[in-house]
């Protein structure tokens, strides 16, 4: 059997559902075998390889499974770099198969040759280059194992062209044995006991929850733990949907654009228990003044994350699900009446709100989507102001219902990731759950070519473009910190007609510029279930995202409203 056929049959043996790919010369033999063998997995022809990697990310985040990408050599491979980096920063399990020139030509500057292993070495969890066809199935098996286990991440498998034409018998290994790589973590009872004692002694505890809780499928264990202890819960951007935001113990998102009351809770608590979070700089702000009164417990599956940014009093190395299950019998309900009442005072002092003057504002769009879906949706956002409003105003209650690019902050992520999430839900039979893609006008055009992919597969995406004719978040910083010099952020003269753009890609396009038009547009979009619908929301041009912790400032120094901007940074 040829290496190309072995590749196709190995993906079937691995249980792959979707391959997001684009053909080219170095992988043409694989595409020939896909046509000949007719595998169980479905190949999705993307319009750009970066879009393919984001589709794989969206699929992985929505399902908890490993996403798969297949591209050719040279530019096909380098076009995946942003998506690979994004997956690395956000701990998303994807496997990216890249074509390569024949082994005899590697290093000769052959046509479409790129050292993709070298290019991606610092942004992958692991990478392989297959040099013998006999190693192909073992390598594929190991790649999926590494991507999924421990702290998830991207794996690159480079496939020289001659390996795909070489022949050997097909066998697929049942097990994986990797020397020096073990994901079995034995919990240390003395650490669990220390953490339980610290929780018992604290008067103002706070659970700080990150994406590791979702990666570890530990949302039920988290809810049971928080409710038994009766302690408040704040989440990171990636932790949104790990704990239901309609629960009285939820204080919403913390950090740069988190709630006032979540950040006040951080600054006044006497104990923080980090659950699958990594103390990102967008959470902590100025490190030496963050949570100044708190002792810190840190649960993480990755030992390199513990005490990396914030010194920890009690480290717990382990899977979040295993740790919370083990600790649940060790903790007792706490009387946090005064602590929760104080948080409610902060909640009333500075609630999340915006001007409700009859004009169409981005926050109102997010609230309208929440009302229409009743929270039963998977919501994806791009990067910028709309991302923060989507985080603040949707109120997530369903696990894995919020997906965004947090670590790398990749504009153009949202639409292809929404396509991947929609395929994931289709694969799980959850076709009635709406997938809502929320982008700004700046980021949307960066991967708008993937609209035609969504239309070709009749995905009923609800695609929202928050059009304020600006690169809004940069404009906000220019107003607040750079003397109102809006350098190259006004998009008024270069934006496309988004409705016509949707229609040109076989989607339905609707424009809304008032709250009444928005309601009609959303009703129409929800009634269409055989193709994507794009709603262009023409919102107020110079809206600002508040609250806000300026970069490098203390979490206690939040800005809650516009101020006079007569200084630069």
Q: Which residues are catalytic?
A: 49, 111-112, 161, 473
Helix (H, G, I), strand (E, B) or coil at 105: helix
The first and second tokens of residue 311, run together, are: 């010194």
The neighbour count for residue 186, using CB atoms within 10 Å, is 8
Radius of gyration of the chain (CA): 24
Contacts of 271 (CB under 8 A, 6+ apart): 198, 199, 202, 204, 205, 206, 294, 295, 296, 297
By C-alpha distance, which of 24, 69, 65 is closest to 43? Answer: 69
Element spanning 295, H or E:
strand 295-300
DSSP 348-410: HHS-S----SSS--HHHHHHHHHHHHTT-SEEEE-SSHHHHHHHHHS---STT-EE---SS--
The first and second tokens of residue 7, run together, are: 């590749």
What is the 3-class SS of 466-520, one letter each residue? EECCECHHHHHHHHHHECCCCCCCECCCCCCCHHHHHHHCCCEEEEECCHHHHHH
The C-alpha atoms of residue 266 and residue 338 are separated, in whole angstroms, by: 16
Residue 286: is it exposed, middle or buried by C-beta count within 10 angstroms (0-12/13-18/19+)?
middle
Contacts of 457 (CB under 8 A, 6+ apart): 44, 423
The first and second tokens of residue 129, run together, are: 């280059």
By C-alpha distance, which of 26, 28, 43 is closest to 453? Answer: 43
The first and second tokens of residue 161, run together, are: 């062209």
CA 398 to chain centre: 15
Q: What is the torsional sign of CA 438, 440, 446, 448?
A: positive
Element spanning 438, H or E:
strand 435-440
State the DSSP code for 166.
Answer: -
The C-alpha atoms of residue 143 and residue 98 are separated, in whole angstroms, by: 13
The first and second tokens of residue 167, run together, are: 């022949």
Block residue for tokens 């690159």: 156
Sheet with 508-512, strands from edge to edge, namely 402-403, 378-381, 435-440, 462-467, 533-538, 508-512
Residue count of the chain, please give it. Answer: 569
Q: Check whether the bond before 547 is cis (ω within 30° of 0).
A: yes
């Amino acid at each position: 059997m040829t290496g190309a056929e072995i590749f196709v049959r190995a993906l079937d043996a691995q249980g792959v559902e979707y391959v997001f790919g684009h053909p080219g010369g170095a992988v043409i033999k694989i595409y020939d075998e896909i046509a000949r063998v007719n595998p169980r997995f479905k190949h999705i022809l993307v319009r750009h390889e970066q879009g393919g990697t984001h589709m794989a990310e969206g699929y992985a985040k929505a399902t908890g499974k490993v996403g798969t990408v297949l591209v050719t050599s040279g530019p096909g491979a380098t076009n995946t770099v942003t998506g690979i980096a994004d997956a690395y920063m956000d701990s998303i399990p994807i496997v990216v198969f890249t074509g390569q020139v024949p082994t005899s030509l590697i290093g000769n500057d052959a046509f479409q040759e790129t050292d993709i292993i070298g290019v991606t070495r610092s942004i992958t969890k692991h990478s392989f280059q297959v040099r013998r066809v006999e190693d192909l199935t073992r390598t594929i098996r190991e790649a999926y194992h590494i991507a999924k286990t421990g702290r998830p991440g991207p794996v690159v498998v480079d496939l020289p062209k001659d390996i795909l034409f070489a022949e050997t018998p097909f066998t697929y290994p049942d097990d994986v044995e990797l020397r020096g790589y073990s994901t079995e973590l034995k919990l240390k009872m003395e650490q669990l006991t220390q953490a339980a004692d610290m929780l018992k002694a604290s008067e103002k505890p706070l659970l700080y929850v990150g994406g590791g809780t979702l990666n570890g499928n530990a949302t039920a264990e988290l809810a049971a733990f928080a409710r038994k202890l009766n302690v408040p819960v704040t989440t990171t951007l990636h932790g949104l949907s790990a704990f239901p935001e309609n629960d009285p113990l939820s204080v919403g998102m913390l950090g740069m654009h988190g709630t006032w009351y979540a950040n006040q809770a951080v600054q006044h608590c006497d104990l923080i228990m980090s659950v699958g979070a990594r103390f990102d700089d967008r959470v902590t702000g100025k490190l030496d003044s963050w949570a100044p009164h708190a002792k810190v417990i840190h649960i993480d599956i990755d030992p390199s994350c513990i005490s990396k940014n914030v010194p920890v009093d009690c480290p717990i190395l382990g899977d979040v699900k295993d740790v919370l299950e083990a600790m649940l019998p060790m903790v007792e309900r706490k009387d946090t009446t005064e602590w929760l009442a104080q948080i409610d005072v902060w909640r009333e002092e500075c609630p999340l709100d915006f001007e409700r003057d009859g004009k169409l504002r981005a926050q109102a769009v997010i609230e309208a989507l929440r009302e229409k879906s009743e929270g039963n949706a998977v919501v994806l956002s791009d990067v910028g102001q709309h991302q923060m409003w989507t985080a603040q105003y949707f109120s997530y209650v369903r696990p894995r219902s919020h997906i965004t690019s947090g670590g790398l902050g990749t504009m153009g992520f949202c639409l292809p990731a929404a396509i991947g999430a929609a395929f994931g839900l289709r694969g799980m039979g959850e076709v009635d759950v709406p997938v809502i893609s929320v982008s700004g006008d700046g980021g949307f055009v960066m991967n708008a070519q993937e609209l035609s992919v969504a239309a070709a597969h009749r995905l009923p995406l609800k695609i929202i473009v928050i059009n304020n004719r600006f690169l809004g978040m940069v404009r906000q910083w220019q107003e607040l910190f750079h003397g109102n010099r809006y350098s190259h952020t006004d998009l008024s003269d270069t934006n496309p007609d988004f409705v016509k753009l949707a229609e040109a890609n076989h989607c339905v396009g609707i424009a809304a510029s008032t709250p009444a038009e928005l309601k009609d547009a959303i009703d129409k979009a929800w009634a269409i279930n055989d193709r994507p619908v794009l709603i262009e929301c023409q919102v107020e041009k110079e809206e600002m995202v508040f609250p806000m912790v300026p970069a490098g400032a203390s979490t206690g120094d939040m800005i809650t409203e516009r101020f006079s901007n007569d200084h630069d940074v």
